[in-house]
Chains A and B, each alone.
Chain A
Amino acid sequence: MEKRKFENKNRYIISIIIGTFIFLLIFAISYSISYFELQRVSNLQVGVGYDIFKDKLDYSLFNAPICDEESFDKISQDLSFQGRIIDDLEKKLGKQNGDVLLRKQFYALIEMEHFEFIKELNQKCGKKVDTIFFFYSNNDSELKESEEAGRILGVVYSRNENLIIYSFDVDLASNLVDKLENRYNITETPMIVINEKTKVGVNNILEIERHLS
């Protein structure tokens, strides 16, 4: 049999070039979507920080009422959403991504500010909102355990309406988070502190719920 000719050898080269271009383009689009979301979280953080700050000043300077359910729900929802998205972005863009780290640091500050706000709400408005500080680590050796703990806390959160969980990455370069760790003597992760009093590991849902008001 005669050797059969290729129909068009250049077509292979053109196909590789186009195929590679589409391959890279789709990765670029995927990363762009992550960065758009980062931008959105960044704007949201500024918004939440502003709202909490404004409400607190309004109350302390002008004795404005702060017991409005609507603003509390909105701020808390925004906060919870940010935490989850930052977590997702960290997985997508990497733990060492500078933008994500900055968002995490800012998020930790907003969490603390929010916590202070909740304390005031509990005191001034007679609310009984429970708080949990969740200290976790994303180091490879502790990642799986921390994720499992996060999952258990997710269930606790879904079962208890008046509960807010604040998550802190102990490896985050943040003085305030370090101080918080020292205050509660956190030496291992994952660990939770319920209502600023009880420090327990994250193993048993019923045990955690026993400490809620």
Chain B
Amino acid sequence: MEIITVIVYLSIYLGLFATTFYILSFISYSKKERKLYTDKELPAVSVIIPAYNEEETIAKTMKSILKSDYPDFEIIIVDDGSLDNTLKIAKKFENEKIRVFHKENGGKGSALNFGLKLAKGKIIFTMDADTTVNPKSMKNMVRFFGDKQVMSVSPAIIIDKPRNILQRVQYMEYLLGLFLRKAFASLKSIYITPGAFSAYRKSFFDRFGDYDVGNPTEDLEMALRIQYRGYYTENCPEAPAYTTAPATFRELMIQRRRWYFGFLKNLWDYRKIIRTKYGDLGTFVIPVALISILFSVIVVVYMFFRAIFEVRDSLIFYQSVNFDFSSLFNINLYVIERALFLFFSKPVVLFILFFMAILGFYMHYASRKIGKLSGLFINLILFYIFFAILFGFWWTISIFYTIFSKKIRWR
């Protein structure tokens, strides 16, 4: 048996084991009782919005957060040396509840730290200037801080109005994240807080320090720091936050390279987390994530090159023998039967179909949480076609960057 076949079946087996484990964890989540703040206990909140050249979106972001039904909150906008009209637009919203500041460009981490020093709330929301939220999101999220061990809460991040293929693929990826996040929450193992919109307990910053300036994924570093210090992040799927997805391949590649490089870098910095002392997180969740990445990179890269070489060889062969390509369309029932037989008698195909069915389960969950999903079917097809290749490609590039220690910045 070829090594690649062994790797493929090992990754499938691991996938089945992990999927089953996460589904069981997901189911058990709803059975748990949680300490939640009542309306009367909700503490004061500060929303920090760092902005750099966001003149097109910042007004929409402001309007969305101002519609929030949260009883007591302030907004701190930190213009991080924008070269456009971001500051001018933000200033139009300024009042006693909304404060706008300008500083020299220093990156997202430095802008967030700037805002943290000025924040008066006990709970800090960090929000990207191209994100919008549901009016109920803040209240729903802050309730989870009723548990003293909870240091941050993540929302349900959704891609806003996906248009092209890349955005549609990302849209589905984010929806799938809703399911996994809840399963991870059940295990107290969320190790990523979305930069677009997340909530943190202010006392954690006071005790363990501000954001790591210069870190390519400062939000991920903070989530790992929370876990490392023995606290955890909760998940609130009833808090939708809509973000804009990169629309071009180049933009997306830059974003993913930063995320994945940041993931590897921060995980290396917090590698002590990978041990049984950290329960499910250190024993299962992070090791499985790392092995899955490794397997998917190997399998996707191998499959990709193999497919290219096979197509190339076939084209060369058929051209060399003056093959009549029109005969390829000479399809009869036997050709169809044989194609179906060859397709469905391959275990790998059946496994893929099984995992696709699981994705259907995820989708069912997502549609229940965020309401009607437009274009779900076509998005799912695009996701099936492109995601695995994109995922392997992003990770390969990111691993390359990590090995050769190329510097990657937020901006």
Contact = CB atoms under 8 A, between A and B. Distances in A.
Interface of A: 1-8, 11-12, 14-16, 18-20, 22-23, 26-27, 29-30, 33-34, 37, 77, 80-81, 84-85, 88, 92, 151-152, 155, 158-159, 205
Given A11-B25, A15-B17, A84-B338, A155 B323 contact: yes
Given A37-B341, A37-B345, A205-B321, A77 B334 contact: yes
B217 interface: no
Contacts of B350: 26, 29-30
Interface stretch (B97-105, B274-282, B391-399): B274-282
A19 B281 contact: no
Contacts of B19: 19
A33 B324 CA distance: 33
A159 B326 CA distance: 11
Nearest to B347: A30
A1 B230 contact: yes
Nearest to A34: B345
A4 B347 contact: no
Given A26-B354, A158-B323, A15 B338 contact: no
Given A1-B230, A26-B347, 16 more contacts: A2-B230, A4-B277, A7-B186, A11-B24, A18-B20, A19-B20, A20-B16, A20-B17, A22-B354, A23-B12, A26-B350, A26-B354, A85-B341, A88-B338, A158-B327, A205-B321
A95 B19 CA distance: 36
A43 to B, nearest CB: 13
Contacts of A15: 17-18, 20-21, 24
B20 A3 contact: no
Contacts of B186: 7
22 contacts: A4-B230, A4-B278, A6-B283, A7-B188, A12-B21, A15-B18, A20-B13, A20-B17, A22-B16, A22-B20, A23-B13, A26-B347, A30-B345, A30-B346, A81-B334, A81-B337, A92-B345, A152-B321, A155-B318, A158-B323, A159-B324, A205-B321
Contacts of A158: 323-324, 327
Given A26-B347, A29-B350, A4 B318 contact: no
A29 B332 CA distance: 26
A205 B20 CA distance: 53
A7 B16 contact: no
B28 A7 contact: yes
Interface of B: 12-13, 16-21, 24-25, 28, 186-188, 228-230, 276-281, 283-284, 317-318, 321-324, 327, 332, 334, 337-338, 341-342, 344-347, 350-351, 354
Contact of B347 (A19, A27, A77, A80): A27
A147 B13 CA distance: 32
A79 to B, nearest CB: 11
Nearest to A29: B350
Of the candidates A15, A16, A151, A159, the one having the most CB atoms from chain B within 10 angstroms of its own CB is: A15
A38 to B, nearest CB: 10
Given A37-B341, A158-B327, A7 B25 contact: yes
Contacts of A37: 341, 345
Contacts of A22: 16, 20, 354
A93 to B, nearest CB: 10
Nearest to B343: A33
Nearest to B326: A158
Contacts of B283: 6
Contacts of B18: 15
A151 B276 CA distance: 55
A157 to B, nearest CB: 10
A147 B277 CA distance: 56
A37 B277 CA distance: 52
Contacts of B28: 7-8, 11
Nearest to A33: B345
B347 A1 contact: no
A109 B17 CA distance: 48
Of the candidates B318, B334, B351, the one having the most CB atoms from chain A within 10 angstroms of its own CB is: B334
Contact of A88 (B279, B280, B342): B342
Nearest to B283: A6
Of the candidates A22, A27, A34, A159, the one having the most CB atoms from chain B within 10 angstroms of its own CB is: A22
Contacts of B322: 205
Contacts of B341: 33, 37, 85, 88
B234 to A, nearest CB: 14
A132 B323 CA distance: 19
Contacts of A8: 28
A9 B17 CA distance: 14
